[in-house]
Amino acid sequence: MHTVMWTFRLAGTPDGDQLVDTIRASAPMYYGVPGLIRKYYCLALERREAVGIYLWRSREDAERFYTPQWRDMVTARWGAAPERQDWDTPVVVESGESKLVVDG
């Protein structure tokens, strides 16, 4: 598995309610994305940051999804170009199910 985190630096004083509305409007576009297991939206208003965390079946799935058009769209949505971080994700703990998901 592979995890990608995109961090967006928000300008000015972010409005939490408005950001949640933006998130809710954009979330359905991630339904049924090939290779995407889970996506988290995170807000750190005190740091003026929005973060998207994506868990993928593989790095290749992530690379196919993050096109220049996707980057342009999210940059326009959040008003800032995102910064990307990648991690290999060998184990995920599904706490509610008391199970481990092991890559490979």
Domains of the chain listed by start with CATH number: 2-102 (3.30.70.100)
Tokens coding 53: 């965390």
Q: Dihedrals φ, ψ of 49, to 5°?
A: -135, 145
- The span from the CA of 96 to the CA of 80, in Å, is 35
**Whether residue 104 has pLDDT greater than 90:** no
Using one digit for the tens of pLDDT, what is the confidence trace for 60-91?
999 999 999 999 999 998 888 999 999 999 99
pTM attached to this predicted model? 0.90
- Asked if residues 74 and 6 have their Cβ atoms less than 8 Å apart, the reply is yes
28 by DSSP, 3-state: which?
helix
Using one digit for the tens of pLDDT, what is the confidence trace for 28-59?
999 999 999 999 999 999 999 999 999 999 99
Q: What is the DSSP string of 38-69?
A: EEEEEEEGGGTEEEEEEEES-HHHHHHH--HH
